[in-house]
Amino acid sequence: MSRRYERAAVVFVYISLFTLALSCVLQPISWSPDGRWIALTRCIQSKESDSGKTEASELWIISPSPIERRRLFATPQMMLSGPSWASDGKRIYVVELPEDKTSGPCILWEIPLEGKPRQIVRLLNTGEQGGAVFAAPAISPDGKRVAFVRNKSNVIIAGTDGQVQRAIEVESQSTVLWSSDGRWLVCMGGGDQEPSVHFFDTQSSEVLPLDVRFQNGAWLPDGKRFVAVKKHTGEGPEKFSVSVLDGIASRREVSSFELDFKPVGPLVPSRQGDAVFVAREESDVRLPAICKLDLRTGKSEVIYETAGVMCVWSLSPDGRSLAFRESPIGKDSGARSFVGVLDLRATTEPLYLAVDDREWAEVVKAYSDELKKVGTDKIKPSEEKTARLAFAQLERFVAAFRRDFPQSSLLPDSVAAVKEVQATYKQAGIILNPGGGAIAW
């Protein structure tokens, strides 16, 4: 085996491993109640090599049609978790958090689309953040309470008037959800050795844990059933299923559907409650994908496959579009990610959106750098297929870059990087875009 071939194989193995490591940095995104905006937070990291420190965090809203973007809030040297919309669509809630092992307060913010941000609750930093930065605040159905993850083991329930009502101690939290009647708060997190899903009664303080095998989940639209991922233990490879539970008191498992992949990120139910969308983790034989699981038949279908790292997050209010977050391949891609909007009625490619030209330039660079590493004269058919898919996606990213920022000074370098990738493979006798590609050269 040549050194060049070994290098190609190592790169693709590295990309597979990197998927798992990076999936946790894809922070939540959320549709506004009127379906116009998608809200997201992003972390700007230090340019100093290997420092990984946060320079600032920002709250943005992006409109898919017409394409428009606005920055609503920024905080220096802190992180933002969220976002979550108020039911009137005029306000967004986020939580400001310090990085692990650093000082700084934990602040619940209310950010209006028009006007000044309002600080609702300010608490001292206590302990490691755990999954707090990846948890969106949960707004109660009556709009009067906000539940948010303060740190690794602490969930706070506060009134929108600024009064802290409860502090819930449940280990390793990363997600909180209200029941439709506002009585129960579902806290999800934990690990393989302890219950990951707890139902907390806000009236009696009773805590009802699910079986240790259950992991993340979501309420179905009827507000009575809960759907959750179940991990099956035992010898051999990991196995997962999705279960539907009926009622909170009994938490009776009424149906279960085995998955042939490892799910990552949240479960996103359809508006009818007859299906859930979930991201599929990359494996030795399959790329990351968004899958739709039919809760009536148990049939699972792939609706979007990618060479990068992605996590499905939010369904539009009309149920027609699915918003996800995707991050580029490559060890230098860091916490950068962009938004994809998938039209569930069509078979077209997603609409790709980024908050600025710098973000698109970094995405293009990450893909280009990795593809050039794999451009050798000995690539296995499976690796060549992945390279073709990644290159086609890279072309679409540059097309989106040109669409949104045609005057950017960073665009020529991105186009040149794609041409360099194409030339690298052509030299090895591989034509990556025999159909002409997505870019008008």
> Which is nearest to 303 in space by CA: 351, 272, 348?
348
pLDDT in tens, 365-388: 888 888 887 655 566 666 777 777
pLDDT of residue 351: 94
Mean pLDDT, rounded, for 330-355: 78
pLDDT of residue 439: 47
pLDDT, averaged across the chain:
82
**What Å distances lie between residue 226 and 179, 209, 296, 338, CA to CA?**
10, 13, 15, 30
In the 8-state DSSP scheme, what is residue 247? -
Q: Which two tokens stand for residue 248?
A: 């909170």
pLDDT of residue 98: 84
pLDDT of residue 4: 35
Residue 79 lies in a domain: yes
Residue 261 lies in a domain: no
Mean pLDDT, rounded, for 430-437: 60
Residue 414 lies in a domain: no
pLDDT of residue 73: 95
Q: Sort residue 196 into left (φ over 0), alpha (ψ -120 to 50) or beta.
A: alpha
CATH number of residue 96's parent domain: 2.130.10.10
Using pLDDT thresholds of 50, 70 and 90, give the confidence band for residue 3: very low
In the 8-state DSSP scheme, what is residue 191? -
Residue 306 has pLDDT above 50, yes or no: yes
Mean pLDDT, rounded, for 179-202: 81
> Which is nearest to 303 in space by CA: 331, 281, 322, 329?
322
Measured between alpha carbons, how far is 27 from 135 in angstroms, rounded to an integer? 8
In the 8-state DSSP scheme, what is residue 111? E
Q: Cis before residue 266, ω within 30 degrees of 0?
A: no
pLDDT of residue 2: 35
Largest Cα–Cα distance of the chain, in whole Å?
70
Q: Which two tokens stand for residue 98?
A: 């310090």
Residue 18 lies in a domain: no
* Domain encompassing residue 107: 32-209
pLDDT in tens, 116-143: 999 999 998 766 666 677 789 999 999 9
pLDDT of residue 336: 65
pLDDT in tens, 210-236: 888 888 899 999 999 999 999 887 777
pLDDT of residue 379: 66
pTM across the whole model: 0.87
pLDDT in tens, 249-303: 778 899 999 999 999 889 999 999 999 999 998 887 788 899 999 999 999 999 9
One-letter amino acid identity for 139?
Answer: I
pLDDT of residue 74: 93
Determine whether 170 is exposed, middle or buried from the number of CB atoms within 10 Å of its CB (0-12, 13-18, 19+): buried
> What is the enclosing helix (H) or strand (E) of 370?
helix 357-374
Q: How many domains does the chain have?
A: 1
Residue 359 lies in a domain: no
